[in-house]
Chain A
Amino acid sequence: MGKSLTVPALLAALLLMAVAAAKMGILGQYAITFLCSMGIFIILSASLNLVNGYMGEFSCGHAGFMAVGAYASSILGVFLFVPDQVFGQPLLSMAWSPWAFPIVLAAGFVAAALAGLVVAIPSFKTRGDYLAVITLAAGYIIKSAIENVEAVGGPRGFMGMGKIVQGMDAVAKLPWMLVWIFLGVVFTIWILRRFVYSTLGKGVMAIHQDEVAAEIMSVNTNKMKLIAFMLSSGLAGLAGGLFAYMVSFVNPASFTILRSTECLVMVYLGGMGSLTGSVLSAIVFAVMLEFLKPLEQLKWVAIPLLLILLMQFRPEGIMGNRELSDIFPKLKRYYRFK
């Protein structure tokens, strides 16, 4: 009993503290935005770790799935709540927005998970670098497709999400995006933990070790891959939805290969097959991005250089494949794994 409640209680306390700090004005809007982008980084890196770390594939089109989620959530939200030229009058009153928001995010999740199928099905036969190219191509295809849909603004982007966030503010004065992103991060970590430590997760890791052997040992590899890819891209879609509402504007140029690269870097920096590592590297990455800003152009020389050096000293990433509880075994007393 005690074990199973420590973590939720701690998280709830953390959330309450953050909200209180924001309400009292200790946490300014700028700090909140910084924390929000950090949260989105965490979701992206943890979700990509499922495919690239645990399953050992090399997916480099994560930004594409993020784009699908971002657009799906944005379109549904605007369709439901905001008067729009294309989608007409809102269906619901703004008072519903905080309650309907999880559904809006779920739409992003589902849409991105379906897009994940594009990659999952070829992955039945293809592996490694060939699959890398399929994910890369999928990223290109998604971006190019959005650019050609005039109804969602094409390259001009899509907006109106800001009004929904304001609408939530009218219902209750809270730092809503911080709350949603916090919940999103908790959900991501929770579901990934559940997945990785379940039989499905064991199957996924078996695929990483040796796909043929796994199949012989009666692992349904196709099913495993399908679920892993869809979960991973779905979570990227969740991150996309949160991102869209945080920035309150999406355009295809936000989801280029550069963003996929950022995701890749975070996964390998943290360590393949370590959720703690992914979280940690996302935090490190976000902090570096923000605090090295005074370097201007040299920032993008300094960051990769630091990362290369880090990899020279720790060629398995910050955490390797260990988790927090492997390093501090005493922590196991306070939380359960499943």
Chain B
Amino acid sequence: MKKFLVALLVAAFAFPAAAFGADTIKIGFNIPLTGDIPKVGEMSKNAAEMLKEKINGAGGLDVGGKKYQLEFVYVDNEAKPESAVNAALKLIEGEKVLAMVGPQGSGRAIPAAEVANNNKTVMISGWSTNPKTTLDRPYVFRACFLDDFQGPVAAKFAAEQLKAKKAAVLYAVDQDYCKGISEFFKKDFEKTNGAGSVVAYETFTTKDVDFSAQLTKIIKANPDMLFVPQYYNEVGLIVKQARDLGFKGPILGSDSWGSAELMNLCGDDCKGQYFVTHYAAAGAKGATKEFIDAFTGKFKQVPDDVAALTWDATGMVLAAVQKMGAPSGDLAKDRTALRDAMASMRGYDGITGKMSYDGKTGDPVKCAVIVKITDKGEFSFHESVCP
């Protein structure tokens, strides 16, 4: 009886599958298909599916002269940390994937990275900008820059190009991403413009929709510009309310503005504003343009930064597979080999720019782009800032 129960348990939980069964390469995706930010999951999945079709359509991934078919497994992490851990284990142990892409948000990426690192499996997050994600974890990588790079870039832009002497910040206190960027922005802006030059530093809580109390305070402090490192859905509300309350200065954003939905939600109010991001959709050239056109044609929406970064993250994993050579079939060995190939990646030409790892950390060296929202509502390239 007990044996039967154990057997039942095994049957229920062990998903016998080999990563390299019949010349396939299996990659797992740990993404939020449900929960608070399903859009992120949807965009990640779309980008991944597109990449898979592109490569499988061409006969598969060429590794050492042999074609391998790609198999992508998507597991929902519900935008919850414990589910992300669960999903990571399911992918690494159950599905026996070679590498894992995601989770995208830092709240999920940090615990999942712990799991991936302990199990010696390559994990690459497209979107997690929190420094803790890759800290002391040789198996964990990311495809985006960090908060401590983006914040100063924004501060520099505000001081030099927007000619701001006094700045104000409005951000969500319970979002690690927004909080991180705001802190770095404040530090850097005050370094150039003197202590107290950030005249208003206001916060709200996620899912708030009324910011008038904070904006009134900000306007009273009379800043030259307002920095809003918030998600696109909040941006629409913040910018509108700021204008209604009589704020006339420029409003600067961060990479979380970069969604196709921004203009739909924000409308005319956002036109003429700038934001820091990973890539500019309008006026893009070469591979970036191809990606944007293909994506727009397939899914009827312009890819946002999550889609672009997922594409790049997955692309980088595949490039590393090509670099490490034909898989041996021994999963543990292959995963380690893949890690080494990832860490020695130099000058990978992604659609969000060139990326290199320095071999010590999993944080890429890459440039940020400052984008201007044109009067037609397009995100056009303004300038590129490199570390």
Contact = CB atoms under 8 A, between A and B. Distances in A.
Interface of A: 17, 21, 26-31, 33-34, 37, 144, 147-148, 154-157, 159, 162, 166, 243, 246-254, 290, 293, 296-297, 299-300
B175 A17 contact: no
Contacts of B14: 28, 31
B86 A37 contact: yes
10 contacts: A26-B10, A28-B89, A29-B89, A33-B86, A147-B174, A162-B114, A243-B82, A247-B81, A247-B82, A253-B174
Given A293-B76, A300-B34, A37 B82 contact: yes
A159 B6 CA distance: 34
Interface in B196-253: 205
Contacts of A162: 114, 118
A254 B38 contact: no
B110 interface: yes
A34 B85 CA distance: 10
B386 interface: no
A254 B79 CA distance: 10
Interface residues of B, number: 38
A162 B12 CA distance: 27
Given A30-B93, A155-B173, A254 B132 contact: no
Contacts of A37: 82, 86
Interface in B45-86: 75-76, 80-82, 85-86
Nearest to B173: A147
Contacts of A166: 118
B34 A26 contact: no
Interface of A is mostly: helix
B1 to A, nearest CB: 12
Contacts, number: 100
Nearest to A250: B81
A299 B81 contact: no
B156 interface: no
Given A34-B86, A159-B110, A293 B132 contact: no
Nearest to B205: A144
A144 B204 CA distance: 11
Contacts of B323: none
A19 to B, nearest CB: 13
A144 B167 CA distance: 26
Contacts of B118: 162, 166
B34 A253 contact: no
B34 A299 contact: yes
Given A30-B90, A155-B175, A156-B132, A251 B81 contact: yes
A31 B9 contact: yes
B85 A296 contact: no
A297 B34 contact: yes
A120 B111 CA distance: 34
A89 B111 CA distance: 23
Contacts of B9: 21, 26-27, 31
Interface centre among A30, A252, A290 (most CB of B within 10 A): A30
